[in-house]
Chains A and B, each alone.
Chain A
Amino acid sequence: MKRLSDRFLRRLLVAVLVLVVVDRFVPSFLADAERNRYESDQLFRFENSDLFSLGPLVSYLREHPRGTRPRVAFFGDSIIWGYFVRPGETVPAQFQRHSPHVRVFNFGINGFQTGSAHLIAKTIIGSIDTAYVLYMRNGADSMLGSLIPVDEQDIATYRLTRPDHTERRLQQALGFWHLYTDAYRLQSALFGTSTRQQFYLHKRDLFARILGRETGEGLKPAETPDPDRALRHLTVDVGRADTPPSEQEAAELKGTYWMHWKFANLATMHKKRIVFIELVNHSDSMPDKVRLAFNAMLAPYVTFVRVAVPGTLTVDGQHLSPVGSLAFAQMLLRDAPPLVTDEP
Chain B
Amino acid sequence: MIFTDVRFAVLLLASWLSFFAAPVRLRTAVLAGWGVVFYAIYAREYLPLVGELILVAYLFARGRPDVVLALLVAMLFGRFKLGADLTGLSQASATLAPTAIIVPLGFSFLAFELLHFVIEVRRGRIARISLVDLLAFAFFFPCRIAGPIKRYPAFLEAVQTAVPSTANVYAGLVRILTGLFKKVVVADILALTVREIEYAATPLHLWKVVLAYSVQILLDFSAYSDLAIGTSRLLGIAVPENFRWPYLSPNIQEFWNRWHITLSSWARDYVFTPSGRQLFKTRLRSSPTAIAALSYLATFLVIGAWHGLTPNYLLWGLYHGLLLTAYYVYRKSLPAWVATSRVFHSRVVHVAGTALTFFLVTIGWLPFLTDFSRTTRFMRIMFGLSS
Contact = CB atoms under 8 A, between A and B. Distances in A.
Interface residues of A, number: 17
6 contacts: A8-B166, A9-B170, A12-B170, A170-B6, A170-B7, A196-B185
B189 A9 contact: no
Q: Which of A4, A12, A171, A196 has the most CB of B within 10 A?
A: A196
A314 interface: no
Given A167-B5, A167-B6, A167-B7, A8 B170 contact: yes
A12 B6 contact: no
Nearest 4 CB-CB pairings of A with B: A8-B170, A170-B6, A200-B192, A5-B166
A149 B345 CA distance: 64
Interface of B: 5-7, 10, 165-167, 169-170, 173, 184-185, 188-189, 192-193
Q: Which of B7, B166, B169 has the most CB of A within 10 A?
A: B166
A171 B7 CA distance: 9
A174 B166 contact: no
A248 interface: no
Given A5-B167, A11-B170, A170-B7, 13 more contacts: A4-B167, A5-B166, A8-B166, A8-B170, A12-B170, A166-B7, A170-B10, A196-B185, A196-B188, A196-B189, A196-B192, A200-B192, A200-B193
Given A5-B167, A12-B166, A197 B10 contact: no
A11 B193 CA distance: 36
A29 interface: no
A5 B189 contact: no
A257 interface: no
A199 interface: yes
Majority secondary structure of chain A interface residues (helix, strand, loop or mixed) = helix
A211 B188 CA distance: 25
Nearest to A8: B170
Contact of A199 (B7, B167, B173, B189): B189
Interface in A285-311: none
A310 B20 CA distance: 73
B167 A171 contact: no
Interface in A267-284: none
Interface in A1-35: 4-6, 8-9, 11-12
A290 B38 CA distance: 54
A12 B169 contact: yes
Contacts of B10: 170
Nearest to B171: A8
Given A170-B10, A196-B189, A9 B166 contact: yes
Interface in A171-227: 171, 173-174, 196-197, 199-200
B172 to A, nearest CB: 11
Contacts of B170: 8-9, 11-12
Contacts of B166: 5-6, 8-9, 12
A200 B6 contact: no
A12 B173 CA distance: 9
Nearest to B4: A180
A170 B193 CA distance: 34
A286 to B, nearest CB: 33
B211 to A, nearest CB: 15
A214 B177 CA distance: 35
A12 B184 CA distance: 22
B198 to A, nearest CB: 14
Contact of B189 (A12, A170, A171, A200): A200
Contacts of A197: 192
Contacts of A11: 170
Contact of B6 (A5, A6, A174): A174
Given A170-B10, A171-B6, A174-B6, A8 B188 contact: no
Contacts of B192: 196-197, 200
A54 B248 CA distance: 43
Contacts of A12: 166, 169-170, 173
Q: Which of B169, B184, B192 has the most CB of A within 10 A?
A: B192
Q: Which of B6, B10, B189 has the most CB of A within 10 A?
A: B6
Contacts of A170: 6-7, 10
Contacts of A200: 189, 192-193
A9 B5 CA distance: 25
A254 B59 CA distance: 63
A166 B6 CA distance: 9
Nearest to A169: B6
Contacts of B165: 5
A4 B167 CA distance: 7
A8 B167 contact: yes
B2 to A, nearest CB: 11
A11 B188 CA distance: 29
A315 B50 CA distance: 55
A187 to B, nearest CB: 12
A159 B185 CA distance: 33
Contacts of A6: 166
B291 to A, nearest CB: 48
A4 B169 CA distance: 12
A169 to B, nearest CB: 9
Contacts of A199: 189
Contacts of B193: 200
A199 B192 CA distance: 10
A47 to B, nearest CB: 13
A111 B240 CA distance: 45
A111 B144 CA distance: 36
A8 B166 CA distance: 6
B96 to A, nearest CB: 15
